[in-house]
Amino acid sequence: MAINTSLRIGLFGFGVVGEGLYKALQQTPTLQATIVKICIKNKEKKRNAPADLFTLEKDDILNDTSINVVVEVIDDTAAAFTIVKTALLNGKAVVSASKKMIAENLPELLQLQLQTQLPFLYEASACASIPVIRNLEEYFDNDLLHSIKGIINGSTNFILTKMFEEKLSFTDALLLAQQLGFAESNPTLDVEGFDAANKWSILLAHAYGIVIHPNKLLFNGIQNIQSADALVAKDKGYEIKLVASAKKLSNGKVAAYVLPQFVSSQNPLSFVRNEYNGAVIESSFADKQFFYGKGAGSFPTASAVLSDIGALRYSYRYEYKKLYHQTPHTLDNNFYVRTYISFENLQHIPKEKLEWVEEWHSAEGRSYIVAVLHVKHLAESNWWREKNVSLILHEDAIIENIDIVTVKKKSLELAGL
Amino acid sequence: MAINTSLRIGLFGFGVVGEGLYKALQQTPTLQATIVKICIKNKEKKRNAPADLFTLEKDDILNDTSINVVVEVIDDTAAAFTIVKTALLNGKAVVSASKKMIAENLPELLQLQLQTQLPFLYEASACASIPVIRNLEEYFDNDLLHSIKGIINGSTNFILTKMFEEKLSFTDALLLAQQLGFAESNPTLDVEGFDAANKWSILLAHAYGIVIHPNKLLFNGIQNIQSADALVAKDKGYEIKLVASAKKLSNGKVAAYVLPQFVSSQNPLSFVRNEYNGAVIESSFADKQFFYGKGAGSFPTASAVLSDIGALRYSYRYEYKKLYHQTPHTLDNNFYVRTYISFENLQHIPKEKLEWVEEWHSAEGRSYIVAVLHVKHLAESNWWREKNVSLILHEDAIIENIDIVTVKKKSLELAGL
């Protein structure tokens, strides 16, 4: 593909992001990029673009040799994958915003890039306007990246902010998010952490060369967090955020998960309020860096797509340096985490699985403990997502080594358990 | 230059940054970049690298056709310019960290890039580890960039943080900064704003296509800020930061300056403490973005140099889109600013130049006013930098239109001036 000539784009999808992109491109003539065809599902809908741009036939784009770039911003995961695959095989560069599709098909998408040697860019798929994928690709070498922690789902962050700052219940905060367009009418994907897990799976590939299907990641959402938890957090000087976390352990492997977490005011993530996203990256050379911006919405997403289109002008491709040019890291679950667990009924807590209890607060209706658990147990059990139990990690939750036997015995005694 | 082959680097300078880079490169084998020669001034100093790497002759690098990349991290501005110029003319890609050299010679450096069509990258020259130049180049189209505001000098930010949080005097805070290595033994360049003006001049080219010599910029440092100012700021719910600012005016031109400014806790810049840097970028599509990280130091600077070296692997060059592909913006000084001015003696304040006084606080020793001034007057006068006068901008200082005659008369009367 002669990419330094002008970019002729075939666009799939004309929803909020697609239309945002169409408008944005009209205002950025320097990109020398033109949308020449738009493929949609429903021809009946009124569209704010000339009628002759639209088609219902995906092959009108995929088989058009004059189109050198396919941009795909549709909702249907299976269809998106077919489009991306065919476009690459037909010699077109591809820009995509479909995080679920990318996360679930990453191995095959990597293979397609190797095979075709064509650019497949997807900055919009994680944190929208924040250029986190590109920066991870370009700035942080594998061995030097200590950790990356991010608030990567705007809906849940909006809900938590309202629960925390305005003392709304989870249900009321969710309703408000839906009214303002920050949460879907079916909010499960966001609220229960699936969306964050998809994004985290993508970012782990660029951060550490780890390719993992999102359903193999340890994750949870915020569906069980109670107003009472927000009060306890505040008393302790924390906020609660849904934090995606990856950290190099002393054995060289990586601990990664997406879980609710206490965040202190010293942590840059505490600055991330409402629908915003943010990521803190710690590395040997650059030290601590923080990227903050809008993680969703038509224009922030379109801005990331635009930047990918811009990068095509100099034939930019992800190198997946951490995957191909080094021995990629592997995930590990040989560590403990310090957790806050609130519950209605002590019966729902498997006491024998607690390595250590630091704090025990009993109250009518709802109690909590602060306890240390092996992360493997979390990965293999479900009680902490069920039965109205709320599990929240401490800020620096990871404990790599403890003298378990002594500590456990003593602390369980102390706690009266 | 066959840049996708391995990079053979000639390095100028082996001070903290040069040595940091040397170590960093050894830990990043994926870059496939090797330092083959290092030019230094003083051969007697003990160096932590093999002796046969070093030379005193710059031509050993500049005339070596096997070297395809020159990295320049020396202090001497004139020598740095000669090196960069010769290297480009000799067909080598160049990476530089010399902000003063770049800021002062930008027109000629732009010309050299046009002439040679070679990459000249300098991410390290502004905000060190924060990839602000690259992001401005890639992400924010001219017409869509509403504003960029940054804390771009770590020394002054460290001093202000200590004055604010620990109530140190300016002199004590400066001393502490020097002891900790965050300020030079001759701190003038940092403290009086020259360093920030150099960086701002570079960033304005990438943000708005504005090429301006730093000594034509309106700027000041923090040398006149008093502990009393910090107390007033705190009372009003602000901190004081040295903020570099550029904002699109309603006439389409750009207001730009580097001045001390009140910053509220809602402003992401309030999160930038001690020696850190940060930048807030507002644009039509991405909305508000915030980049935060270390703005100085050997490894943060080396990390930016490394990322430039990495970008050479895919022949990345700055396109200066805002300068070449659009009508570049121009600076304007047809606006007013809302300022806080503290002083010992009212005699030093040219009352006739105040358009409007909002607040007047008189106290023994030191008084202050909150007043609106035409920015042109600031640009043309010097009283506000002298005679122990301290001028600090309000958070949203710019006022584009006021009905001057009425307001001025009334407010001066009210203020009893």
ipTM for the complex?
0.81
- Specify if B322 maps to a domain: no
pTM assigned to the model: 0.87
pLDDT, mean of residues A222-238: 91
Q: Contact at 8 Å (CB) between B248 and B257?
A: no
Q: Contact at 8 Å (CB) between B335 and B218?
A: no
Higher pLDDT, B224 or B297: B224
Per-residue pLDDT reduced to its tens digit, B324-340 = 877 778 999 999 999 99
The pLDDT-based confidence of A284 (bands split at 50, 70, 90) is confident
How far B403 CA lies from chain A's nearest CA (Å)? Answer: 34
Mean residue pLDDT across chain B? 89
Question: Which range (A165-179, A222-236, B316-330) has the least confidence?
Answer: B316-330
**From the list B27, B271, B278, which residue is nearest A144 (CB)?**
B27
How far A329 CA lies from chain B's nearest CA (Å)? Answer: 15
Question: Which range (A1-5, A235-239, A400-404, B13-17) has the least confidence?
Answer: A1-5
- Are B276 and B351 contained in the same domain? no
**Nearest residue of A to residue B135 by CA position?**
A131
A76, A99, A125 — which closes off a domain? A125
pLDDT, mean of residues B407-414: 61
Residues of A in contact with B31 (CB under 8 A): 141
The residues, ordered by sequence, that sit 6+ positions from A188 with a Cβ below 8 Å of its Cβ are A194
Higher pLDDT, B415 or B356: B356
Count interface pairs A-B at CB distance under 8 A.
Answer: 144
Q: Do A293 and B289 touch (CB under 8 A)?
A: yes
- Specify if B367 maps to a domain: yes
Q: Do A20 and B268 touch (CB under 8 A)?
A: no
Model pLDDT, residue B366:
87
- Are B237 and B160 contained in the same domain? yes
The residues, ordered by sequence, that sit 6+ positions from B124 with a Cβ below 8 Å of its Cβ are B17, B73, B95, B96, B97, B301, B302, B304, B305, B308
The pLDDT-based confidence of A142 (bands split at 50, 70, 90) is low
The pLDDT-based confidence of B417 (bands split at 50, 70, 90) is low
Q: Do A299 and B287 touch (CB under 8 A)?
A: yes
Residues of B in contact with A134 (CB under 8 A): 138
Q: Do A28 and B141 touch (CB under 8 A)?
A: yes
Q: How many CB atoms lie within 10 A of CB A356?
A: 22
- Specify if B341 maps to a domain: yes
- Are A146 and A271 contained in the same domain? yes
Q: Do A129 and B314 touch (CB under 8 A)?
A: no
**From the list B135, B304, B325, which residue is nearest A30 (CB)?**
B325
How far A109 CA lies from chain B's nearest CA (Å)? Answer: 21
Per-residue pLDDT reduced to its tens digit, B117-148 = 999 999 999 987 888 998 888 776 655 889 99
Per-residue pLDDT reduced to its tens digit, A172-201 = 999 998 888 787 778 899 999 999 999 999
Model pLDDT, residue A295:
81
Model pLDDT, residue A370:
93
Percent of chain A with pLDDT over 90: 61
Q: Do A293 and B288 touch (CB under 8 A)?
A: yes
Residue carrying structure tokens 């580097």: B258
Residues of A in contact with B278 (CB under 8 A): 290
A236, A265, A294 — which closes off a domain? A294
Per-residue pLDDT reduced to its tens digit, B26-77 = 877 777 889 999 999 987 788 888 999 999 999 999 999 999 999 999 989 9
CATH of residue B266's domain is: 3.30.360.10
The pLDDT-based confidence of B183 (bands split at 50, 70, 90) is confident
- Specify if A369 maps to a domain: yes
Q: Do A135 and B131 touch (CB under 8 A)?
A: yes
The pLDDT-based confidence of A410 (bands split at 50, 70, 90) is low
Q: Do B292 and A293 touch (CB under 8 A)?
A: no
The pLDDT-based confidence of A343 (bands split at 50, 70, 90) is very high
B294 is catalytic: no
- Are A106 and A186 contained in the same domain? no
Q: Do A138 and B30 touch (CB under 8 A)?
A: no
How far A16 CA lies from chain B's nearest CA (Å)? Answer: 13
Catalytic residue set of A: 199
Mean residue pLDDT across chain A? 89
Higher pLDDT, A129 or A194: A194
Model pLDDT, residue B143:
58
Residues of A in contact with B304 (CB under 8 A): 286
Residues of B in contact with A285 (CB under 8 A): 20, 24, 129, 299-300, 302-303, 306
- Specify if A301 maps to a domain: no
Pick among A130, A134, A285, A325 to test the B interface (most B CBs inside 10 A): A285
The pLDDT-based confidence of A413 (bands split at 50, 70, 90) is low
Q: Do A311 and B268 touch (CB under 8 A)?
A: no
- Are A258 and A370 contained in the same domain? no
State the residue range of the domain holding B371: 336-414
- Are B340 and B197 contained in the same domain? no
Name the active-site residue from B99, B149, B162, B199.
B199
Does residue A416 have a pLDDT over 70? no
Q: How many domains does one find in chain A?
A: 3
Model pLDDT, residue B1:
40
Model pLDDT, residue A300:
85
- Specify if B350 maps to a domain: yes
What is the β-pairing status of strands B7-12 and A390-399?
Answer: unpaired
- Are A37 and A104 contained in the same domain? yes
Model pLDDT, residue B293:
92
- Are A240 and A181 contained in the same domain? yes
CATH of residue A394's domain is: 3.30.70
Strand segments (E) across A210-275: 218-219, 238-248, 254-264
Model pLDDT, residue B316:
86
Instruction: Give the dihedral of Cα atoms B169, B173, B179, B184; nearest 10 deg.
Output: -120
Residues of A in contact with B268 (CB under 8 A): 271, 292
- Specify if B325 maps to a domain: no
State both tokens at A405.
Answer: 């036997």
What single DSSP character describes residue A352?
Answer: G
Model pLDDT, residue A2:
38
CATH of residue A11's domain is: 3.40.50.720
- Are A179 and A34 contained in the same domain? no
**From the list B139, B287, B311, which residue is nearest A307 (CB)?**
B139
Model pLDDT, residue B29:
73
Higher pLDDT, B181 or A62: A62
- Specify if A304 maps to a domain: no
**Nearest residue of B to residue A307 by CA position?**
B139
Residues of A in contact with B299 (CB under 8 A): 284-287
Percent of chain B with pLDDT over 70: 94
pLDDT, mean of residues A18-44: 86
- Are B248 and B150 contained in the same domain? yes
Model pLDDT, residue B414:
58
Distances, alpha carbon B74 to alpha carbons B20, B42, B361, in Å: 13, 12, 48
The pLDDT-based confidence of A23 (bands split at 50, 70, 90) is confident
Q: Do B314 and A316 touch (CB under 8 A)?
A: yes
The pLDDT-based confidence of B3 (bands split at 50, 70, 90) is very low
Give me the residues paired with residue A93 across strands: A69
Q: Contact at 8 Å (CB) between A123 and A300?
A: no
The pLDDT-based confidence of A3 (bands split at 50, 70, 90) is very low
